[in-house]
């Protein structure tokens, strides 16, 4: 059995449809459908139920999720170990990301690269998610770590989900909303708002849900949003990817009617990553898993 078929099965369940799974894996939808059929024939079991609403695992498929995940992880480990036997990694990798993803995901990876792979050179570019994706698509960047836009990815680009986080607001201690356990979009209608700059996912979400919202500050970073809130500029709209404590005195409240915000790893669908890019991609995935473990309820 080819391990990539297990990858396709897991991608179909993760994304909920063969079309999305095909985009995630960088293959066509007919290809992934055919390979999953072959997988079912090889195992002599039905793994998925298909409907206009997407795909779901059958009981047999549910039982095989964990073994398939171990199989995929084992192949990844073998590939990385094989690469490592060739000596110190060389080459250059260019990584792009937004201010939040650079601070929470990319920066710790950079530290590990310096410590573990001193022969590998890299560069980091910070910018809005849309700009980073266009740079990956054009080949100016090897990889992007972006807050996932609500629109589908451009043709030729693959988004691989890394982690999700709830959307909410930061409030100062004396704000009337601070006493609530959670808030809704409508609760923000009459308050000054501090959020990220235009072109970011948070700004898009705010514009869609509160087109007439009173936006006082459009910041370049999450830290600036918190600083402005601490100085009384308004409530700060942010996703809670970072588990560190916010600015002193601030409270974070979840937006009960807001969809979670997702971080994705993006790369071109038609290019094979270099050895050095594979190392960086693996470290980014590990960092995202660490963050998700920190935010997971005990």
The pLDDT value given to residue 199: 82
Domain with residue 65: its CATH number is 1.10.10.10
Residues 226 and 104 in one domain: no
Among 52, 87, 122, the domain boundary falls at 87
CA within 13 Å, CB half, 214: 10
Residues 6+ apart with CB under 8 A from 100: 147, 196, 221, 222, 238, 239, 241, 242
Distance CA 264, CA 30 (A): 24
| Phi, psi dihedrals of residue 253, rounded to the nearest 5° | -120, 130
Residues 153 and 270 in one domain: yes
Total domains present in the chain: 3
Residues 93 and 81 in one domain: no
pLDDT in tens, the chain (298 residues): 788 899 899 989 988 888 888 877 777 888 889 999 999 999 999 999 988 888 999 999 999 998 998 898 888 778 766 655 555 555 788 999 988 889 889 998 888 888 877 777 889 999 888 889 999 988 899 999 999 888 888 888 888 888 888 999 999 988 999 989 999 999 999 899 999 988 888 999 999 999 998 999 999 888 899 999 999 999 999 988 765 566 668 998 999 999 999 999 998 887 777 777 888 888 898 888 888 877 655 4
Residues 93 and 79 in one domain: no
Residues 63 and 194 in one domain: no
Among 60, 87, 114, the domain boundary falls at 87
Residues 13 and 128 in one domain: no
Distance CA 164, CA 129 (A): 15
> Token digits for 82?
């094989």
The pLDDT value given to residue 51: 86
Distance CA 219, CA 226 (A): 10
**With 0-12 CB in 10 A as exposed, 13-18 as middle and 19+ as buried, what is 272?**
exposed
Residues 205 and 243 in one domain: yes
CB 228 within 8 A of CB 195: no
Residues 12 and 79 in one domain: yes
Residues 231 and 121 in one domain: no
The pLDDT value given to residue 242: 65
Q: Which helix (H) or strand (E) holds 218?
A: strand 215-219
Largest CA distance in the chain: 64
Domain with residue 237: its CATH number is 3.40.190.10
The pLDDT value given to residue 86: 55
Residues 107 and 213 in one domain: no
Structural domain boundaries enclosing 35 = 1-87
CB 143 within 8 A of CB 96: yes
Give the distance from CA 160 to its chain's centroid.
7
The pLDDT value given to residue 243: 56
Residues 143 and 288 in one domain: yes
The pLDDT value given to residue 298: 46
Residues 4 and 75 in one domain: yes
Which residue, 251, 247, 249, is CA-closest to 225? Answer: 247
Among 87, 103, 122, the domain boundary falls at 87
């Amino acid at each position: 059995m080819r391990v990539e078929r297990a990858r396709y099965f897991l991608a179909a369940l993760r994304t909920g449809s063969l079309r999305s799974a095909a985009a995630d894996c960088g293959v066509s939808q007919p290809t992934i459908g055919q390979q999953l059929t072959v997988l079912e024939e090889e195992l002599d079991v039905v793994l998925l139920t298909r409907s206009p609403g997407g795909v779901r695992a059958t009981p047999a498929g549910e039982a095989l999720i964990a073994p398939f995940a171990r199989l995929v992880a084992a192949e990844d480990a073998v590939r990385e170990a094989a690469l490592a036997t060739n000596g110190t990694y060389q080459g250059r990798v260019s990584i792009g990301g937004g201010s939040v993803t650079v601070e929470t995901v990319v920066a710790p990876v950079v530290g590990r690269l310096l410590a573990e792979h001193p022969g590998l050179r890299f560069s980091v570019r910070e910018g809005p998610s849309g700009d980073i994706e266009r740079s990956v698509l054009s080949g100016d960047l090897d990889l992007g770590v972006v807050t996932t836009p609500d629109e589908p990815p451009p043709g030729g680009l693959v988004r691989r989900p890394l982690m999700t986080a709830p959307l909410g607001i930061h409030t100062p201690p004396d704000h009337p909303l601070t006493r609530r356990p959670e808030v809704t979009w409508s609760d923000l209608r009459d308050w000054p708002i501090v959020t990220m700059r235009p072109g970011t996912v948070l700004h898009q979400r705010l514009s869609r849900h509160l087109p007439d919202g009173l936006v006082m500050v459009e910041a370049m970073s999450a830290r600036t949003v918190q600083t402005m809130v601490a100085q009384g500029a308004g409530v700060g709209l942010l996703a809670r990817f970072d588990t560190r404590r916010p600015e002193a005195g601030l409270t974070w409240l979840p937006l009960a009617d807001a969809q979670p915000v997702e971080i994705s790893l993006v790369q071109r669908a038609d290019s094979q990553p270099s050895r050095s890019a594979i190392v960086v991609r693996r470290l980014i995935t590990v960092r995202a898993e660490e963050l998700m473990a920190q935010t997971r309820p005990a």
